[in-house]
Structure 1
Amino acid sequence: MNQPTLYQRWQRLSAAVLRVFHVYAGWLVSISWKRFVVYAIALMIGVNILQDLPPFTWRISSTITPDEVFEPAEPEPPAPPAPSAEARRAAKPLLKSDKPIHYEITIDENGVKVQPRKAKSGASAPDAAASSAESADDDNTEVDPDLPSISIKLPKEAKSAEVKRAIEEAKSGIEQALEAAAEAAKTSAHEAAVEARRAAREAQRQPRRHTTVVHLGDFLVKLAFFFALGSALIKVTYKGRLQAEVKAAQATETAEAESLKRQVVEARMAAMQAQVEPHFLFNTLASIDHLIETDPPRASQMQKNLIALLRASMPTMREANASGVRDLGRELAVIKPYLEILKVRMEERLMTSIDVPEGLLSAEFPPMMMQSLVENAIKHGLEPKAEGGMLTVKAEINHGKLAVTVADTGLGFGRAATGGTGVGLANIRERLMLLYGAKASVTVSENQPSGTKVTITVPYRSRGHDSDDKQGASI
């Protein structure tokens, strides 16, 4: 029951092959092209050596005995039959030579002599024929010892008829001698051929050693060539894949880091907001309680502004975490009741001016940034100043970007006893960098005739907003 199935075995094998492929492809990518060429050449040389070694090539030796030879023995050729006398007369000359053969016949008182003569090297064929009529002592001819000669002695009283008969007998004897020499030559040639055939058959009957070579490695060279070619393709394609994976991992890591930074900044802003709002809420409630006894109408108005402020600011953090931006009208819906409450507390010491065109209320703007700038301007600029001053909120389009400015005529940046540490502005800069990169900026400058002016510039984008947003912006 615990044995793996065929499908599981196939999966394990596929996973192992895939791991080996990735390891080999990674090694190919890690080496240079020069080393790859050396590797391919070494591979081809190694395969050429390997194909001649076992188990790709081996030799099989065997001994063949005479019993295993089934070749039929060739019959010996029969001896040529002796020709008849008539055939011999009709036949062509039995003795052939590349040189002319001449016989010299000499008749004198001693008898008849028939001697073969051969011409000297300097004598031509006509000269040799003429010399046959001369005597045997001529300097141009000499006796040929290889041919037979005949000598016939005549009686002293011999007649011419007898001499002719003797010459005929000499001619017949010469022909018989030539035929005998030819027959002897044929017989010796036949015997030599028979002896050669007999020796060949004896050699075939001897045991012979036979070696068979079996080649199974002929395909290795082609396989190595295609393997090297495939490795080159893997090196080219897999490198691009690795680079893409590295870039994707870097992009993911960067996105995660930016997301983490954004969450940290949002957490800082939420913590700062959580620290500011309770103090403001407690102070506002205390002011309402005091005005209820001294000036109930103003207390009622302050209570309405507080309700509007809470209604507009409660969903701020939730929407900021979801989308990262809100429209400018929602931010003004928080700023306006906040300033009205502060006017009740500071009375004639605080004057406000909001200059935001109606067409810019739908523009995108990061949440809580404007509120943070307004709180800093009042807390560190206008509230410490005895006579107070003017707070101005302005929005305009500058070079295709939305510029929101919060200016005050207070003591100036860093001059109040309650001067901040600049953490709020640092958080704003960090949030703008995460949201817009280099397309957004924060500028802090001196305001005229006194105070501080802070401008936030972001890319201009319009957002659609519903009637509730408009209503909130008009409160």
Structure 2
Amino acid sequence: MNAVPLNPTLMQRWQSFSKACVRGFHVYASWLVSISWKRFIVLSVLLLIGTNILQDLPPFTWRVTEHVDGPSMPKLPKLPKPASTAKLPAGMHYEVKIDKHGVRIVPVASPATPGASGVEPQPGVEIKLPESISSEDAKAAIEQAKDALEELAQQARAAQEAAEEVRDEARQALEEAGAVGSHTRTRVVHLGDFLVNLAVFIILGSGVIKVTYKGRIQAEVKAAQAEETAEAESLKRQVIEARMAAMQAQVEPHFLFNTLASIDHLIETDPPRASQMQRNLIALLRASMPTMREANAGGVRDLGREMSVIKPYLEILKVRMEERLQTEIDVPEGLMSAEFPPMMIQSLVENAIKHGLEPKAEGGSLKVKAEIVHGKLAVTVADTGLGFGRAATAGTGVGLANIRERLMLLYGSKGGITVTENQPSGTVVTITVPYRSREQGA
């Protein structure tokens, strides 16, 4: 059975509607988060009051008046029927006898009625009179009572007949009124009973949205801030690395040209020393080229690779400066695998030579030392030159600033650089980083 494809227009309308609903939800949720809980409670109370008022007003409640044709008669009460008089069997009648014993009312069978002897006996009434009353007086009183009872019975029958006549007249009048016209009836229609429940549902749902959406917004804000910070740190690191690369590009050609010139001079005057300088230059270039690439990538290397650059570099300088430069490298073999940022030691050595030892007529000594201090790796470059900022070739301090910024980006507050005066002269620069072995990290 082939599926019926949906109308593209309907799909587009549905997508537009869903996007509008989602957008509206986010707008409403953002507004809920922006208001305080106090204001939210006040608005909720006002919403409940408003719905209670609206549910009794149009269009949620209205009255409908209907016209009804035909009679609309109320049911008239039925009149009570007079109590029925007990009837005697056929051939029987009561006789009233008054004698000295009193008044007796007894049933008597008629002698002329056939079959009267087979009739069941009926109860009678016997009233005893006091001895002081004569039978004639009792008979007269009974006759008067009998006449009075008959008169009351006639009045009751007349009143019942009059009530029946009034009832018949009322029924006839109601029937005539119903046959001639129609009557109206009013009923109330309620459609707003759901408003209060809807308001409660909206309040509860809004409270849940306010709590959950606020946490989501805070998480999104934190994520955005973290992303901005990471981007800023990355950009800052790229700027610093670019500065270091620019400085290295300026230093390396100058150093390389001077070294090549020294080799050319030594080839004529002292070929063995020229050969030694050439071997050191080759070792320096072999070790420094990957260092430069990794420095531009912002990575770290082990301390041993850094020392492989520093040793031939100092050997070349010793050939050029001859007896004016004495060097010492004190790096234990166990620290050669420790992580250390590239090019930093080389920059410190270049600054010590250029601004401290070369300007000094008698030269001096330079020492590179590595040790563990309070659980951190400390690498020190100390010289006995003129001192920081005292030479005519003193730099601007940009190199030290770049090293400090790189350490902050790589290690935060756990890394740092200190500059102090050496005794009796010169400068001591120490770089401190967390001690981590690349062998352990691998």
Bucket of the pairwise TM-score, normalised by the shorter protein: 0.7 to 0.9
Which structure has the greater CA radius of gyration? Answer: 1
Structure 1 equivalent of residue 30 of structure 2 = 26
Alpha-carbon contact 2:61-2:189 (below 8 Å) kept: yes
Distance verdict in 2 for CA 1:188–1:289, change over 3 Å:
same
1:13 aligns with 2:17: yes
Aligned partners of 1:29 and 1:235 also within 8 Å: yes
Identity level (%):
73
Q: CA deviation at 1:295?
A: 1.2
Q: Distance in 1 between matches of 2:170 and 2:265?
A: 150
**Contact kept? 2:302, 2:438, Cα under 8 Å:** yes
> What letter matches 2:273 in structure 1?
R
SS of residue paired to 2:428: strand
Q: Gaps spanning 5+ residues in structure 2: where? A: 1-6, 95-129
Q: Which of 188, 191, 195 is the matching residue for 1:220?
A: 195
Task: Give yes or no for the alignment of 1:366 onto 2:341.
Answer: yes
Aligned counterpart, 2:393: 418
Residue 186, structure 1, aligned to residue 190, structure 2: no
CA drift at 1:204: 5.2
1:77·1:194 contact (CA, 8 Å) conserved in 2? Answer: no
3-state SS of 1:393 partner: strand
Q: Is the 8 A contact 1:381 1:408 kept in 2?
A: yes
Distance 1:231 1:248 in 2: 25
SS at 1:5 equivalent: helix
Distance in 2, matches of 1:327 and 1:318, equals 15
Aligned residue number for residue 41 of structure 1: 45
Q: How far is the alpha carbon of 1:220 from its aligned partner?
A: 1.8
**Secondary structure of the equivalent of 1:183?**
helix
1:340 aligned residue: 315
Answer whether contact 1:79 1:190 (CA < 8 A) is retained. no
Alignment partners' CA distance in 2, 1:81 and 1:424: 133
Worse-superposed segment, 318-327 or 455-464: 318-327
Amino acid at match of 2:259: T
Residues 181, 320 of structure 1: CA spacing in aligned structure 2 closer, same or farther, 3 A cutoff?
same
Q: Tell me which residue corresponds to 1:267.
A: 242
- Alpha-carbon distance, 1:50 to partner: 2.5
Alignment of 1:267-416 (within 5 A): 267-416=242-391
- Compared CA separation, residues 47 and 80, structure 1 to 2 (3 A): same
SS across alignment from 1:419: coil
Deviation of residue 83 (structure 1)?
Answer: 6.9
RMSD: 3.3
Is residue 227 of structure 2 the alignment partner of residue 252 of structure 1? yes
Native 8 Å contact 2:245 2:296 kept in 1: no
Code of the aligned partner of 1:432: L
Other structure's SS at 1:456 match? strand
What is the CA distance between 1:172 and its match in structure 2?
A: 5.2
1:27-54 CA deviation, whole Å, 9 max, x = no partner? 1111111110111111112222222334
Question: CA offsets per residue over residues 214-243 of structure 1, 9 Å max, x none?
Answer: 222222211110111110111111111111
Q: Take 1:161 and 1:326, find their aligned partners in 2: how far apart are those partners? A: 155
Deviations 1:2-61 (A, max 9, x none): x84333322221111111011111111111111101111111122222223343333332
Tell me the alpha carbon deviations over residues 62-93 of structure 1, each in whole angstroms, 9 at most, x when there is no partner. 111116x6x89989989979979989x98xxx
Q: 2:436 aligns with which of 461, 464, 467?
A: 461
Instruction: Please tell me the residue identity of whatever aligns with 1:268.
Output: R
Please give the alpha-carbon distance, in whole angstroms, between the structure 1 residues aligned to 2:11 and 2:162: 86
Contact 2:244 2:402 in 1 (8 A): yes
After superposition, the Cα gap between the structure-2 partners of 1:414 and 1:327, relative to the gap in structure 1 and judged at 3 Å, is: same
Query: What SS does structure 2 have at the residue aligned with 1:315?
Result: helix
Please, which of 404, 409, 425 is the counterpart of residue 434 of structure 1?
Answer: 409
Q: Kindly tell me: are residues 302 and 23 of structure 1, through their superposed partners in 2, closer, same or farther at Cα, counting changes over 3 Å?
A: same
Distance 1:222 1:172, change over 3 A: closer
The 1:233–1:168 alpha-carbon spacing in structure 2 relative to 1, beyond 3 Å, is closer
- What is the TM-score of this pair, normalised by structure 1? 0.75
Amino acid at match of 1:456: I
| Aligned ranges 1:203-214 → 2 under 5 Å | 207-214=182-189
In 2: Cα distance, 1:297 partner to 1:304 partner: 11
* 3-state SS in 2 of match to 1:458: strand
What SS does the aligned partner of 2:359 have?
A: coil
Checking the alignment, whether the CA contact within 8 Å between 1:73 and 1:201 is kept in structure 2 is no
Equivalent position amino acid for 2:201 in 1: F
Structure 1 unmatched runs, 5+: 91-129, 134-159, 466-475
1:155-213 deviation line (CA, Å, top 9, x unaligned): xxxxx999999888656544433332332233233334444544554565552212233
Q: 1:369 to 1:185 in 2, by over 3 A?
A: same
Task: State whether residues 242 and 296 of structure 2, in contact with CA within 8 Å, keep that contact through their aligned partners in structure 1.
Answer: no
What is the deviation of 1:381? 0.9
Q: Distance in 1 between matches of 2:386 and 2:266?
A: 29
The 2-side partners of 1:84 and 1:12 are apart by 93
Counterpart in the other structure of 1:233: 208
Note closer, same or farther for the CA distance 1:381–1:199 as it changes in structure 2 (3 Å cut).
same
Q: CA deviation at 1:382?
A: 0.9
